[in-house]
A and B are shown apart, each in its own frame.
Chain A
Amino acid sequence: MTFSTRQLSLDESPALTVPGRFFATAPAFGVVAAALMLWAGPGQFAGRWSPAVLATTHLLTLGYMAMVMFGALMQVFPVVVGQRFPRSRLISTWVHLFLCVGVVLLVLGFLGAPAWVMGAAAAALALGAGLLLGAAAMALSRVSVRGRSVRSLGLALGALLLTAAFGVWLALAYVGLTPPAFAWIDDHVAWGLAGWLPLLVIAVAYQVVPMFQLTPAYPGWLMRGLGGWIFGGLVLGLVLRHVAAPAWAPALAFGLVGVGLATFAVVTLALQHRRRRRLADATVWYWQLGMVCLAVAVVLWTAGRVWAPLATDPRYPVLLGALMIPGFALAVINGMLYKIVPFLVWLHLALAPAAPGRPGAGAAPHMKQVIPPAHAKRQFRVHLAGLILLLAGIAGIPLAFEAGAASFGLGCVLLERDVLLALRLYRRRAGSGGQASPEPAGAGSL
């Protein structure tokens, strides 16, 4: 085994701006999504195919979810697999730019812009995802201790590759630049929402849930088998959907994926129930909300396979999407941001060499001074209210959809404010010595 001196080295760890720009942008796309929901109204959200639904979905999955995930990956690689992203400052700048431009163009494309706009969106998103995947693959290839975390991350990134490839193809087909590809839409959705999203959350959960909430470890059989089970089920489903197999065959394969996802949700909730650290904490609440939504989504999906009238109701896929995206994905993401952002601000201030006129390391504000816990708890309650109202609105309760979109948007505004205030605190403190802060030692942390 080798451990090169480049790894975890002092001056090559990512600067705060590397993940910071992703974390600061994501909630803004949430605000745009909320505005679009309010503008389009509930009628547009009564089925999955309206332009407003497609645009909102991608504002949330690409603009918010993937945005945070990409930034977090650059931050956690040194901690989890001992490898930095190559040239992280440069790569993060371009990935962030391609992703931002790509999402905006994609949304305009869905809302009726000329075909070239969608073509440009596909190109920008392909470049952004390709750059991220290339850098991640390069970092993973240099890893010398191939533990469970490396395998889990590899599977998640493999699912991202397929999701992105199907997505680019579908975007081009949507505006007629390539032949129609309707048959592949569900593969794009399955690899994104049942592959990349949960596989990354699972890889992170193995580390984060036991260590930060002081729960027992995930059972060994689960950690060894779950990632491969989910990935294998998706591959099987993909193949069976496109060969002349009876309709129940791919449903059974995706059912296996569902069993894996539900097991993960239930085991996580059971572990959290036994956590030793019992202080009220928005991050724990968010994880619990996310796991409940994931489990309910699996139950609802299964019910639709068993009872056909449910699956043919146009509201059914929109409900599933709401449970999986603001319910599961954004809950876990918001919960993690409320821990990662204050910690990184503290870390970069504490480890930056003290400059004249700048408070010493001992004076770095602790995490609860960077973002007060009351802010996180309030933001959680607003997000939860928004989610419940959105689900009710999609189900058909009058005015619930509008109230839910407004509440969801307010939650995004609150999160944006908390992230920006934290980053501003860093800039003020780090800059008060009259010099730009250098990249601190050990900042590859978390």
Chain B
Amino acid sequence: MSTNGMISDYMTHHHRTCDRQLADAEAAVDGDDWDAASEQFTGFRAMIEQHFEMEEDVLFPEFEQRSGLTDGPTLVMRSEHEEMRKLLEQLQMALDSGDAETYLGTSETLMVMLQQHNMKEENMLYPMADGKLGEDAGAVLDRMRGL
């Protein structure tokens, strides 16, 4: 595989893995299986936090440096990460108090927020990052995976 599209391919695949885990946690709450829900949600939260960090600590700074854009798309992506962290906190509280209705409503909200966020990254940001990084994409990806 050429380096062209490396970031896109890896990060898009990681998005889908996170999505499945979120859906599994939701299904467990819907099925009133709180032990499984807790396990699935904890796994999801760790996974998505890792994803955010790969972007915020490595990918976005690289993109900003090479594009000269520090107040554009990455700023919006960072602010959406913050909104999603608030939703994660609300999900944790709903899980801890066994409130299925709040959990499912918040999970639905997070799912839509996450998907529109992913669309922007997959349609625009990742292809552009691949373009800007060129030959260095492999090295940057290694640093992201190393987190």
* B20 contacts across to A, CB distance below 8 A: 214, 276
Q: Which 3 A-B pairs have the closest CB atoms?
A: A368-B105, A366-B105, A5-B72
Does B42 sit within 8 A of A, measured CB to CB?
no
Do residues B127 and A366 form an inter-chain contact, with CB atoms below 8 A?
Answer: no
B-binding segment of A122-130, A258-266, A438-446: A438-446
A243 within 8 A of B: no
Contact of A277 among B23, B80, B86, B102 (CB under 8 A): B23
Query: Which residues of A lie under 8 Å from residue B80 when comparing CB positions?
Result: 442, 445
Residue interface mask B18-30, A partner, CB < 8 A = 1: 0110011011001
| Also in contact, A368 and B108, with CB within 8 A (given A8-B76, A445-B113) | yes
User: Could you show 28 A-B contacts with beta carbons less than 8 Å apart?
Assistant: A1-B128, A3-B125, A4-B72, A5-B69, A5-B72, A7-B124, A8-B120, A10-B75, A10-B76, A10-B79, A79-B120, A211-B118, A212-B112, A277-B111, A278-B27, A339-B112, A343-B109, A343-B113, A351-B79, A361-B86, A366-B102, A367-B108, A368-B101, A442-B76, A445-B80, A445-B116, A445-B117, A446-B116
Report the Cα distance A351→B82, complex, angstroms.
Answer: 10
A82 within 8 A of B: yes
Extra inter-chain contacts (14) besides given A8-B72, A343-B109, A350-B83, CB under 8 Å: A1-B132, A3-B69, A3-B124, A4-B72, A9-B72, A79-B120, A144-B128, A212-B112, A276-B23, A278-B27, A362-B90, A366-B105, A367-B109, A369-B105
- The answer to whether B27 and A441 have CB atoms under 8 Å apart is no
The residues of B with any CB-CB pair to A shorter than 8 Å are 19-20, 23-24, 26-27, 30, 67, 69, 71-73, 75-76, 79-80, 83, 86, 89-90, 101-102, 104-106, 108-109, 111-113, 115-120, 123-125, 127-128, 131-132
A202 near B: Cβ within 8 Å?
no
Q: A212 to chain B: which residues have CB within 8 Å?
A: 111-112, 115
Shortest Cβ distance from A281 into B: residue: B108
Q: What separation, in Å, do the CA atoms of A144 and B69 have in the docked complex? A: 15
A45 is an interface residue with CB less than 8 A from chain B:
no
A147 interface residue per 8 A CB criterion: yes
What residues on A are CB-neighbors of B73 within 8 Å?
Answer: 3, 7-8, 82
User: Would you give the shortest CB distance from B86 to chain A, in whole angstroms?
Assistant: 6
* A64 interface hit (Cβ, 8 Å): no
B residues near A166, Cβ cutoff 8 Å? none
Shortest B71–chain A CB gap in Å is 6
Most buried by A among B19, B67, B109, B131: B109
* A82-B108 contact in complex given A214-B20, A347-B113, A368-B101, C-beta closer than 8 Å: no
CA distance in complex: A145, B23 (Å) = 30
Chain A residues lying within 8 Å of B131, measured Cβ to Cβ, are 1
B-facing residues in A47-85 (Cβ within 8 Å): 78-82
B contacts with A: majority SS? helix
Residue A149 lies at the interface, judged by CB distance under 8 Å to chain B? yes
Given A8-B73, A214-B23, is A147 in contact with B108 using a C-beta cutoff of 8 Å? no
B15 and chain A: residue at smallest CB distance: A211
Least CB separation from B131: chain A residue:
A1
Closest B residue, CB atoms, query A350: B83
B residues less than 8 Å from A81 (CB atoms): 123
Q: How far is the CA of A153 from the CA of B60 in the complex (A)?
A: 29
Cβ of A346 < 8 Å from any Cβ of B?
A: yes
B119 touches A207 (CB 8 A): yes
A308 located at the interface, meaning its Cβ lies under 8 Å from any Cβ of chain B in the complex? no
Contact A446:B112 (CB < 8 A) given known A145-B128, A147-B123, A207-B119: yes
CB proximity of A288 to chain B, nearest CB, Å: 18
8 Å CB interface, A8-57 against B: 8-10
Is A436 in contact with chain B by the CB < 8 A criterion? no
- Asked whether, in the complex, the Cβ of A214 is within 8 Å of the Cβ of B19, the reply is yes
Q: Mark A361-385, 1 if CB is under 8 A from B, else 0.
A: 1100011110000000000000000
Asked if A79 contacts B116 (CB within 8 A), the reply is yes
Asked whether A247 is an interface residue with its Cβ less than 8 Å from the other chain, the reply is no
In whole angstroms, what is the CA distance A8 to B106 when docked? Answer: 25
A183 lies within 8 A of chain B by Cβ: no
Complex Cα distance A22/B94, Å?
35
Knowing A7-B72, A366-B109, A441-B76, the reply to whether A211 touches B119 (Cβ < 8 A) is: yes
Complex interface: chain B residues within 8 A of A147 (CB): 123, 127
Alpha-carbon distance between A10 and B72 when the two chains are bound, in angstroms? 8
- B75 cross-chain contacts in A, Cβ below 8 A: 10
Residue of A nearest to B69 (CB): A5
Q: Are B124 and A367 in contact (CB under 8 A)?
A: no
Asked, given contacts A211-B119, A278-B27, A361-B83, whether A1 binds B127 with beta carbons under 8 Å apart, the answer is yes
Q: Which residues of A contact B115 (CB under 8 A)?
A: 211-212
A82 to B76, CA, bound (A): 12
Decide yes or no whether A244 CB sits under 8 A from chain B.
Answer: no
Query: Does A279 touch B at the CB level, under 8 Å?
Result: yes
Q: Which residues of B contact A3 (CB under 8 A)?
A: 67, 69, 72-73, 124-125, 128
**When the two chains form their complex, are residues B26 and A145 in contact, meaning their CB atoms are under 8 A apart?**
no
Whose C-beta in chain B lies nearest to the C-beta of A443?
Answer: B76
A79 touches B119 (CB 8 A): yes
Inter-chain CA distance A5–B68, complex, in Å, is 10
Q: Chain A: which residue is nearest B126 at the CB level?
A: A145
A144 to B124, CA, bound (A): 9
Which residues of chain A come closer than 8 Å to B128, judged between CB atoms? Answer: 1, 3, 144-145
